């Protein structure tokens, strides 16, 4: 279906969503996440995966790995040129890809992305909710929601809702959380910028990712839902909106030789291992509602599995987004 559309760029669609089917030079990597995750022999032919935030960092490595395993990969991001590059690498490596450009700060653009994806397939085997951001200064989106929460949590909440009926019985939803979620205190006042702290806002959104996974696993009949901590990746574009001090610090770590920092710093490729594992491994096929790190389930914070918080964040997300999930 996609081969006829390769190397063709469609015009701008509503709500800034754009589609590009790529072709071009192959990307060379010294480390492949599918090897590290122990799934290099998995065949994803005739499978379709959507990876959000796939134009750089962990998302890019995840998309490339799924493409090498034979999947048709829907690549999402905001940067057109970076999206073309990832799509080109997937296509040239023998896979197929489509690039979708969409901003995740508003519910309407997320829903439009879902509509565009639905136009391209009637089956979505893997949904990787990877897109994320960290903002040092507080901002409210046009929807009136604190921007970190909107991009990191509300967007995957809405996107998964709109694509849920495309997931087959063996489908998988993988949502990227973070160990920083342990910093969050379980309060979710996300319609005001009072006493805003960028790291606290990020931690709150990552706790919401974990709570969403618990609630989602209970609502999906067949498909699995898990979340993970990919690792600390200084080279990630996640930090592009952080304070100057944070950017300088992670920038320094990103420039140090990996052998000096490998004990606590990941490259995008090593960080992508857990995402690829959850998306493909037979060992994860019947696991749902869990939090993973280094391809192993671990216990998140107590707040991340708190029954009342699971319900409260779900209800808040429905209220803020205007979508309603079946009970």
Q: Given pLDDT bands bounded at 50, 70 and 90, which one contains residue 16?
A: very low
Query: What's the pLDDT at 19?
Result: 45
Q: Mark whether 202 is an active-site residue.
A: yes
- Work out whether strand 291-293 and strand 224-229 pair parallel, antiparallel, or are unpaired: parallel
Using left for φ > 0, alpha for ψ between -120 and 50, and beta otherwise, residue 97 falls in: beta
Using one digit for the tens of pLDDT, what is the confidence trace for 294-319? Answer: 999 999 999 999 999 999 999 999 99
- Work out whether strand 18-21 and strand 96-101 pair parallel, antiparallel, or are unpaired: antiparallel
CA torsion, ordered 211, 202, 158, 279, to nearest 10 deg: -70
As a whole number, mean pLDDT of residues 90-110 equals 94
Using one digit for the tens of pLDDT, what is the confidence trace for 237-261? Answer: 554 555 555 445 444 444 444 444 4
| Residues forming beta bridges with residue 291, ordered by sequence position | 227, 298
Which is nearest to 275 in space by CA: 74, 39, 68, 94?
39
Q: Given pLDDT bands bounded at 50, 70 and 90, which one contains residue 134?
A: confident
Is residue 23's pLDDT more than 50? Answer: no
Is residue 21's pLDDT more than 60? Answer: no
Distance of CA 205 to the CA centre of its chain: 13
Using one digit for the tens of pLDDT, what is the confidence trace for 166-214? Answer: 999 999 999 999 999 999 999 999 999 999 999 899 999 999 999 999 9
Q: Which residue among 20, 196, 202, 277 is the active-site one?
A: 202
Query: What's the pLDDT at 240?
Result: 54
Catalogue all structural domains in the chain, each as residue range(s) with its CATH number.
3-321 (3.40.50.720)
Q: Given pLDDT bands bounded at 50, 70 and 90, which one contains residue 95?
A: confident
Query: What's the pLDDT at 30?
Result: 54
């Amino acid at each position: 279906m996609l081969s006829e559309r390769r190397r063709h760029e469609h015009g701008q669609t509503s709500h800034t969503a754009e589609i590009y089917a790529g072709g071009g030079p192959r990307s060379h990597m010294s480390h492949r996440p599918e090897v590290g995750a122990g799934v290099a022999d998995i065949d994803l032919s005739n499978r379709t995966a959507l990876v959000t935030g796939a134009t750089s960092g962990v998302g890019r490595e995840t998309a490339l790995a799924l493409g090498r395993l034979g999947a048709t990969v829907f690549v999402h991001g905001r940067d057109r040129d970076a999206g073309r590059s990832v799509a080109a690498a997937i296509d040239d490596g023998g896979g197929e890809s489509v690039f979708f450009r969409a901003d995740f700060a508003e519910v309407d653009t997320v829903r439009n992305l879902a509509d565009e994806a639905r136009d391209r397939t009637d089956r979505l085997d893997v949904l990787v909710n990877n897109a994320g951001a960290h903002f040092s200064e507080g901002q409210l989106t046009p929807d009136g929601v604190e921007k970190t929460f909107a991009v990191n949590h509300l967007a995957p909440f809405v996107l998964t809702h709109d694509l849920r009926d495309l997931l087959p019985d063996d489908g998988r939803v993988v949502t990227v959380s973070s160990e920083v979620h342990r910093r969050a205190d379980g309060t979710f006042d996300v319609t005001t910028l009072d006493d805003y702290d960028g790291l606290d806002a990020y931690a709150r959104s990552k706790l919401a990712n974990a709570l969403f996974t618990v609630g989602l696993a209970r609502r999906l009949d067949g498909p699995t839902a898990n979340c993970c901590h990919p690792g600390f990746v200084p080279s990630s574009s996640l930090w592009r909106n952080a304070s100057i001090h944070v950017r300088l610090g992670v920038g320094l770590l990103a420039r140090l030789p990996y052998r000096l920092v490998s004990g606590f710093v990941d490259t995008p490729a090593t960080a992508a291992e857990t995402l690829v594992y959850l998306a493909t491994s037979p060992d994860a096929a019947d696991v749902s509602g869990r939090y993973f790190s280094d391809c192993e389930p671990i216990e998140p914070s107590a707040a991340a599995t708190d029954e009342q918080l699971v319900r409260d964040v779900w209800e808040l997300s429905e209220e803020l987004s205007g979508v309603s999930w079946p009970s």
